[in-house]
Amino acid sequence: MKYVSGLGKLIITSAPSGAQIEIDGQRLRDNRGRPVTTDALRWPPAGRHHIKLILDGYETVDEDCEVEDENQSHFHKVLKPVKKP
């Protein structure tokens, strides 16, 4: 697969799947304005990006990820259920 210079292929997955995704503070949406959820594929610029995964009933994941120029990167997280009081 050919890559565009300056971009990296980022595969974002979670277990369970269906978490909404934010990259660098922006919620991902598809062409119809619906939230993009895991499992997803994006082509962000190379460099460090802040990723947030949000799924009701689970702790939010809020971490940085390094995307390499013209390479494939994976961001996979196992989501932890929210502890009930």
* CA-to-CA separations, 18 to 7, 14, 56, 77, 84, in angstroms, rounded: 25, 8, 10, 12, 21
pLDDT value for 5: 59
The structural domain count of the chain equals: 1
Direct distance between the N- and C-terminal alpha carbons of the chain, in angstroms, rounded to an integer: 49
- Which residues constitute the domain of residue 23? 9-78
Considering the domain boundaries, does residue 50 fall inside one? yes
Considering the domain boundaries, does residue 63 fall inside one? yes
Tell me the CATH number at 37: 2.60.40.1120
Residue 3 has pLDDT above 80, yes or no: no
Considering the domain boundaries, does residue 70 fall inside one? yes
3-state secondary structure of 56: coil
Question: Would you call 64 exposed, middle or buried from its count of C-beta atoms within 10 A (0-12, 13-18, 19+)?
Answer: exposed
- For the stretch 16-67, pLDDT in tens is 999 999 999 999 999 999 999 999 999 999 999 999 999 999 999 999 999 9
Q: Say what the pTM is.
A: 0.87
Considering the domain boundaries, does residue 22 fall inside one? yes
Considering the domain boundaries, does residue 3 fall inside one? no
Considering the domain boundaries, does residue 1 fall inside one? no
Considering the domain boundaries, does residue 46 fall inside one? yes
